[in-house]
Chains A and B, each alone.
Chain A
């Protein structure tokens, strides 16, 4: 009897952010659906009540079903039989329960059978599911593919595929990676040829490391333009498993997220439909899909962090050594407090990023029906720009932190944590993938460094300085202003040498410095809205300040000539 939504009041805090009213109004567009669908909300309060109640359903499933099944799912894993991937029994039960709850297609419009929820409650559902079982969060999160079809596919494809998500509970996969195209997706070779006779595209080739590869609906990145070798020759296709033209060659045996089937696929003359326009596959659609997937990994990471922190806290309260519970020792309580501060940190960045994404996406859907006013257009661009630089920052920080938190949680458990007797052993393994897939941490830095070079991070930080907070929190703001000055100086120092290589070399340091101040502000504003976050704000800013000073010290004492020491 656990409900992962109602047992964590931080979630409701983020769900009820003041910006929510604007977001709901953009999403529900005068609540026109209320006259067509009996489950559509009539006003803002009604919408928020729906979000709250549906998250309560998902929180209950996460606590009572998904978390309970996690251990057996990790043990059993999926199996490949007769060219079909059979989920572990627990995985199937998890998914069936969510389908029965009618929550698949949570963010799709009602005309496609969805619930038309904002991205905030959608991502929150992913956090809840991931806290129950990180591996299962992938299967849940892959409904992002439906979102991509909704955004870019023709009406005909939308009508064909989208309603099946809610009514039948179809699952999805994004087939991008190939043996020679991992981080570098421009190298994708799977071939798409247009067959004049059938009027269909045919896919031929191999995909590797495909999460939930045997899904009902697959989005496949393929080379449609013969003779090309770069991103401009790639298009996106949608493949229906009922075509029976794809074989699953194997399921990978992995370190963690063992319940999530990672497949190698072979497409043989597989009929597929083109999504959107030719040549835009990677450049536009996959980039968008990847951004959603990165939000998904952000949610997954926060869910893992929450689970790991709770396991450690519980154990530290119970375990006695030298005559007292171990939580009474400074070495242990400091770890726990830092874990909590970091969990709060990545959660606030997660939902802040969601809000920017949600607003700009709502505008882009409105723009399909009518032209935006100049004011709306500016707001759209503003939100999109920030979403673009916050998403990689979120992916970087949340995945790295959830690994640190899982590491520390296992450490709090001592030798017991190394055994399979406690959930932390699984959580620790599950966490490891988050810094790797959907773009490694190193690639997130490549994306996020744009926020440093185009001055956007700095601009946001300077704007934050204008926002007043309770006097008792002024000392934190004062620290953040000093950290911003320090960050600005560090950028100047690195760019002064005009060495592109040095800039790349320090890129992660600069991005992390920016992140520490940005998150510091978010926690400060959270604390300003609710006292509960004061402790985490204080502790996180303390940690960030120390870390940034260290980085500056490294940058300042580093000469471009010394790059040679690091090269092979």
Chain B
């Protein structure tokens, strides 16, 4: 049985090079002004998966991505770098999903790929920066999770040892398999797209994409069936619609405002109880904590 590694990857707006028109007047992200890219830490996760694959005798890397039809680009980009296959989770019913609903859908998709040995994802995506989907997915799959992974120290068919990059140092942990690992940006950069893989797979399309193509791919797809990218809908996942989209998402965005950080004054605190108390009051009062 082949060692199966599932990589969760997301297409995100490129928030790293934000221009003037990145936000709309109502405070929401202007997706049209930001190019859609492969979430950077998901690329680190893909690299880690490909690295593990190269260490194992018989392993495969499968990409799972959830998003609109154009997110199929993530699957192609992964295959160009060495992934073996990919599935696009796409359905209008997923629209508006927060991290809880997303991890529900993703966990169902991962279960469909069982038996799997590892699930890898980036630590967080640059659009939401929540870092929640990975851990929540692990919980729903009821498997161990290792977050902030930087390096694979050792791996075999039954267990994995990971070096974690934490705020104040590193930690080496071992886990049984299957496990879910979220990968930190300090891990190895992803390898480049491979020219031959790109030329071989550049015509890979989902059914939805094929419908929009002006050119007839029938003959090509008969000869090269591997070009077909599979799409999974709510029905394919046997998902409970109530747990998806807005209805499945407890997160409600109350308000979005532009914040300009500036230092106005410096308060010197002593160890005295009254200073600590006034600090706590201020932090709670300004909703920084609590």
Residues of chain A touching chain B, judged by Cβ–Cβ distance below 8 Å, are 1, 38-42, 49-50, 53-54, 57, 60-61, 97, 100-103, 106, 115
Contacts and interface: CB of A to CB of B under 8 A. Distances in A.
Contacts of B196: 39, 102, 115
In this complex, the member of B16, B198, B200, B220 whose beta carbon has the largest number of chain A beta carbons within 10 angstroms is B198
Contacts of A97: 191-192
Contacts of A54: 195, 198-199
B142 interface: no
A57 B196 CA distance: 11
Contact of A39 (B17, B192, B193, B199): B199
Interface of B: 16-17, 191-200, 202, 220, 224
Given A1-B16, A39-B195, A115-B199, 15 more contacts: A1-B17, A38-B224, A39-B197, A39-B199, A41-B199, A50-B199, A53-B198, A53-B202, A57-B195, A60-B192, A100-B194, A101-B192, A101-B194, A101-B195, A115-B195
Contacts of A100: 191-192, 194
A54 B197 CA distance: 11
A54 B193 CA distance: 9
8 closest A-B pairs by beta carbon, nearest first, are A39-B199, A101-B192, A102-B194, A39-B200, A102-B195, A39-B196, A100-B191, A54-B195
A389 to B, nearest CB: 34
Contacts of A102: 194-197
A115 B224 CA distance: 20
Contacts of A50: 199, 202
B139 to A, nearest CB: 34
A54 B199 CA distance: 8
A54 B17 CA distance: 24
Contacts of A38: 200, 224
Contact of B198 (A1, A57, A106): A57
Contacts of B202: 49-50, 53
Contacts of A53: 198-199, 202
24 contacts: A1-B17, A39-B195, A39-B199, A40-B199, A41-B199, A42-B220, A49-B202, A50-B202, A53-B202, A54-B195, A54-B199, A57-B192, A57-B195, A61-B192, A97-B192, A100-B191, A100-B194, A101-B191, A101-B195, A102-B194, A102-B195, A103-B195, A115-B195, A115-B196
Contacts of B16: 1
Nearest to A104: B195
A57 B224 CA distance: 24
B193 A57 contact: yes
Nearest to A96: B191
Contacts of B198: 53-54, 57
Contacts of B199: 39-41, 50, 53-54, 115
Nearest to B199: A39
A409 B114 CA distance: 60
Nearest to A65: B192
A2 to B, nearest CB: 11
A103 B193 CA distance: 10
A167 to B, nearest CB: 11
B24 to A, nearest CB: 24
A41 to B, nearest CB: 7
Contacts of A57: 192-193, 195, 198
A97 B220 CA distance: 31
A346 to B, nearest CB: 27
Contacts of B192: 57, 60-61, 97, 100-101
Given A1-B17, A39-B199, A57-B198, A101 B193 contact: yes
Nearest to A98: B192
A46 to B, nearest CB: 9
Contacts of A49: 202
Contacts of B195: 39, 54, 57, 101-103, 106, 115
Nearest to A53: B198
A515 B254 CA distance: 69
In this complex, the member of A49, A54, A60 whose beta carbon has the largest number of chain B beta carbons within 10 angstroms is A54
A561 B277 CA distance: 101
A57 B195 CA distance: 8
Nearest to B198: A53
A482 B200 CA distance: 52
B193 to A, nearest CB: 5
Contacts of A41: 199
A395 B199 CA distance: 33
In this complex, the member of A42, A60, A101, A115 whose beta carbon has the largest number of chain B beta carbons within 10 angstroms is A101
Contacts of B224: 38
A73 to B, nearest CB: 17
A60 B202 CA distance: 18
A519 B17 CA distance: 39
B12 to A, nearest CB: 14
Nearest to A45: B215
A328 to B, nearest CB: 25
Contacts of A115: 195-196, 199
Nearest to B81: A100
A83 to B, nearest CB: 30
Contacts of A60: 192
A181 to B, nearest CB: 38
B17 to A, nearest CB: 7
Nearest to B192: A101
A239 B218 CA distance: 49
B138 to A, nearest CB: 30
A497 to B, nearest CB: 56
Contacts of B17: 1
Contacts of A1: 16-17
A103 B17 CA distance: 29
B83 to A, nearest CB: 14
Nearest to B17: A1
B19 to A, nearest CB: 14
A39 B17 CA distance: 34
A38 B202 CA distance: 11
A43 B17 CA distance: 37
A154 B16 CA distance: 53
Contacts of B193: 57, 101
In this complex, the member of B17, B197, B199 whose beta carbon has the largest number of chain A beta carbons within 10 angstroms is B199
Contacts of A61: 192
A42 B215 CA distance: 14
Contacts of A103: 195
A100 B198 CA distance: 12
Nearest to B14: A1
A57 B194 CA distance: 8
Contacts of B194: 100-102
Nearest to A49: B202
Contacts of A39: 195-197, 199-200
B185 to A, nearest CB: 14
A259 B286 CA distance: 55
A59 to B, nearest CB: 11
In this complex, the member of B16, B17, B191 whose beta carbon has the largest number of chain A beta carbons within 10 angstroms is B191
A53 B196 CA distance: 11
B225 to A, nearest CB: 12
